[in-house]
Amino acid sequence: MSLSTLVQTGCLIVFALLLLMAAWQDLRSMQIADGLSLGIAGAFAAWALAGLAGGTLSFWSVALALACAIGVFALGALAFAAGVLGGGDVKLLAASSLFAGPALMLDFIATVALAGGLLGIAILAGAPIGSAAPTSDGTLRTRLRGDLPYGPAIAAGGLWLAALLAPT
């Protein structure tokens, strides 16, 4: 195994661990620390540099990954302005999408959406998830008005990416 492959593998492990920390933090507090998203962006920078040095990535693939992440951030900012996503979710989504690039973006977004849908269904069914934990009345109306911790869904998409990008 080459040094660049070893570095990239380490970066994917760091990426996965930071995603798990973000998911846990979002479940507990409905907030995601900026440092976790910055750490993911840093892990991507090291991963990309190792890929460039090892010849497994081109400059254009890294540039396109950055462009995709900027696009995801812009769309996320619109969702934040509309009250659909939290700020921490937007930053985590954009940072994680760096690893997807254009080639895996559809897989990443589909996995995040599927996991988010499952979280939503679980909350509607009465599962005690995040701040949507059953209140005194526990009605469907109350559960629909509760917040959805989206960090775990983003983490599921990111973990899927890490599995796809892991060297074989």
pLDDT tens for each residue of 70-101: 999 999 999 999 988 999 999 999 999 999 99
- Confirm if 90 and 6 have CB atoms less than 8 A apart: no
What is the pTM (predicted TM-score) of this model?
0.91
- pLDDT(135) > 60: no
Assign 22 a pLDDT band (cuts: 50, 70, 90): very high
Separation of first and last alpha carbons in the chain: 10
Distance, CA of 26 to CA of 116 (rounded, Å): 13
Integer Cα distance of 15 and 44 in angstroms = 8
Let me know how many helices (H) and strands (E) the chain has, helices first: 6, 0
DSSP for residue 112:
H
Question: Is the pLDDT score of 116 beyond 90?
Answer: yes
Q: Residue 127 — very low, low, confident or very high, per pLDDT cuts 50/70/90?
A: confident
Rounded to whole angstroms, the Cα distance separating 145 from 72 reads 26
Tokens of 87: 């700020």
Per-residue pLDDT at 124 = 83
CA distance 11 to 45: 9
What local confidence, expressed as pLDDT, does residue 133 receive? 54
What span, in angstroms and rounded, lies between the C-alpha atoms of 111 and 17? 18
Output the pLDDT for position 141: 59
Give the Cα separation of 9 and 21 in Å (integer): 19
Whole-angstrom Cα distance, residue 141 to residue 159?
A: 32
d(CA 21, CA 15): 10
The pair of three-digit structure tokens given for residue 152, joined into one six-digit string = 């775990």
